[in-house]
Structure 1
């Protein structure tokens, strides 16, 4: 925000990346600045299509924010946790279980995971329209920057990616952009998320109460930070780490995109585990932009796609039973930690039915 005197914010230091030898996923790196020309989009669309049909994750670089701007977003994120008392956090607690809306604080111990263990995840969620609800006093001076951050993610990252994904389906490149309006009713939001050192209570043999999941939206944008913890489940069933790249974004698909693409683009299962030994005493502080289609969009596959006509469509529900984005997000959000999960035969995958759709969780 050149020419504007910004409010002072304490600097947050995440420390250096891990030096441990981890098994990293081999993710494609997309230079999104090349998407400004038709020729660049045609080239990038091939790489993005391969990434989304294989691992469901890729990196984005040259996205328009420099390192200092990205670091300031992290500094602002820390205000919501280090600068807000527990009492004030409770005043701005979200109502996920009752309304299916993620706005506000998701406090620790909110969800029951299994065997008496409750989650240790805390985050704060802000609708892209920052005026949707009131926010804690310490963060209010920074709301213009958060709104600018949301707009940057939406127009300079999300929309270019959606054009590449549409081209990968051989559709008009505005097909997906047209159902991700910035001012349309919906729940796309900025999430600011600190993960502290895990407790050691066990859930079915795991020392972490964070269970693997797939996101329920269309695209998730994670601003990479140095403390390792994110892992993805690869097609061969192995868990691999996501490597930190300075000022890069980590992009992945969610349920909504998988439904819209007829199963062509993968909503990959991922999880957050304890950091490597040399980072275990440090918290992870992340900034995300969780993208959903407009609330009114029916999550039906684009049957006109020449690609889907060639490879076939994997339907999760009939056209008549297809949920809207609003119904799907509310169903997934309000059901988490509340419904009974049915064990599958292999004892690893747990299942539940939401809005008539079988949802699998990897324990």
Structure 2
């Protein structure tokens, strides 16, 4: 993606919030220098760091990912366009077909997901999702001038960020470097922008939770760090810890699909979004994500050739003959999320649903 210049299409500036000055209990996350992943020697040096980070906290920061601060800021300007420029009536024209076919491409309106079933609180998250092939579907008029930049951004996330991370994960399993890369070609869902507004009454009823505790259903989630605090991870001691903003850094975590493929070696970390601290509540929280999923026809089976898994054992979420295809898993999780009636689980504060015979947990 080119840096902002006179030739770039004009775009309203998105003004970010200043970082919070409140003393929050921040998670201690590892910082990975992705520039080192460009050489075999560098990959050998950092894959143990990635392995340890994702097997302890489940989240990590990535720096030196190939974008300057100016390029990152430009994309946040573009990411705000669907919410600040596109008229409400046009949003309806490009509404995502989540409930019918499980696709988040287009607008997800507010008040779609159940945040608190007992108090009948619905979410207030606005979301616009784009296929990695940004030209595959039509977009609102206001976004069309930025499609070349959106295309470059999607490809950068996929090729220059996701693929190096997948190579590092493969190395950690003592597999050929391209094992996971081959399962993640340039298809399926990709870039997503979200904005989180909320009323005070809904905050009270939902106990200040905007997005209940969950695990992502994809392979690797790439979140472009932004300053409004709200993201929390559930630490191994059972406490919710905040994820701190880091300028021009990425926040990386793995999801359910990676748990399938890694035979339980990489378990997804439970995380949620809550009301920001008081000094940031007057600001809109804008998030930019790149969600990665394997190719639709990939059967979600453990990589049994891994010498690591052969040594420590394989954990399966289901019998191999029942393992879902990645495309089906994505659609079933998408259709059910926030819409399906949940049952109380055995653990305190845990609700459960059954997806394709596999128990999926949600945490309050």
Q: Is 1:181 the counterpart of 2:181 in the alignment?
A: no
Note closer, same or farther for the CA distance 1:241–1:166 as it changes in structure 2 (3 Å cut).
same
Q: Is 1:28 the counterpart of 2:41 in the alignment?
A: no
Structure 1 gap segments, 5+ residues each: none
Q: What do residues 32-77 of structure 1 show as CA deviations (whole Å, max 9, x unaligned)?
A: 0011111110111000000111111101000110000000000011
Note closer, same or farther for the CA distance 1:279–1:331 as it changes in structure 2 (3 Å cut).
same
Match of residue 155, structure 2, among 151, 173, 176:
151
* Map of 2:126 onto structure 1: 122
Report if the CA contact (8 A) 1:117-1:202 is conserved.
no
Match of residue 62, structure 1, among 64, 72, 85:
64
Which range is displaced more, 315-324 or 6-15?
6-15
Which range is displaced more, 104-113 or 29-38?
104-113
Q: Is 1:284 the counterpart of 2:281 in the alignment?
A: no
Report if the CA contact (8 A) 1:208-1:274 is conserved.
yes
Note closer, same or farther for the CA distance 1:260–1:361 as it changes in structure 2 (3 Å cut).
same
Report if the CA contact (8 A) 1:95-1:102 is conserved.
yes
Distance 2:59 2:348 in 1: 26
Distance 1:316 1:199 in 2: 40
Query: Counterparts of 1:1-363 in structure 2 under 5 Å?
Result: 1=2, 5-113=7-115, 114-115=117-118, 116-182=120-186, 186-201=187-202, 206-363=207-364
Report if the CA contact (8 A) 2:114-2:122 is conserved.
yes
Q: What do residues 246-281 of structure 1 show as CA deviations (whole Å, max 9, x unaligned)?
A: 000000001000110011112111001011111111
Report if the CA contact (8 A) 1:30-1:58 is conserved.
yes
Q: What do residues 299-328 of structure 1 show as CA deviations (whole Å, max 9, x unaligned)?
A: 111111111111111111001000010110
Structure 2 gap segments, 5+ residues each: none
1:203 CA displacement: 8.1
Q: Secondary structure at the match of 2:300?
A: coil
Q: Secondary structure at the match of 2:70?
A: helix
Q: Secondary structure at the match of 1:201?
A: helix
Distance 1:174 1:346 in 2: 39
Distance 1:86 1:77 in 2: 16
Report if the CA contact (8 A) 2:193-2:289 is conserved.
yes
Question: How much is the aligned-residue C-alpha RMSD, in angstroms?
Answer: 1.5
Q: Secondary structure at the match of 1:200?
A: helix
1:164 CA displacement: 0.4
Distance 2:204 2:330 in 1: 26
Distance 1:209 1:121 in 2: 8
Q: Give the paired residue count.
A: 360
Distance 1:56 1:86 in 2: 37
Distance 1:188 1:263 in 2: 24
Q: Secondary structure at the match of 1:167?
A: helix
Q: What do residues 280-303 of structure 1 show as CA deviations (whole Å, max 9, x unaligned)?
A: 111111111010010100111111
Distance 2:200 2:95 in 1: 22
Distance 2:288 2:221 in 1: 11
Report if the CA contact (8 A) 2:210-2:275 is conserved.
no
Q: What do residues 7-35 of structure 1 show as CA deviations (whole Å, max 9, x unaligned)?
A: 01111111211111111111110100011
Q: Secondary structure at the match of 1:252?
A: strand
Report if the CA contact (8 A) 1:200-1:208 is conserved.
no
1:187 CA displacement: 2.0
Q: Secondary structure at the match of 2:80?
A: helix
Q: Secondary structure at the match of 2:209?
A: coil
Note closer, same or farther for the CA distance 1:233–1:26 as it changes in structure 2 (3 Å cut).
same
Report if the CA contact (8 A) 2:210-2:274 is conserved.
no
1:338 CA displacement: 2.4
Distance 2:132 2:23 in 1: 38
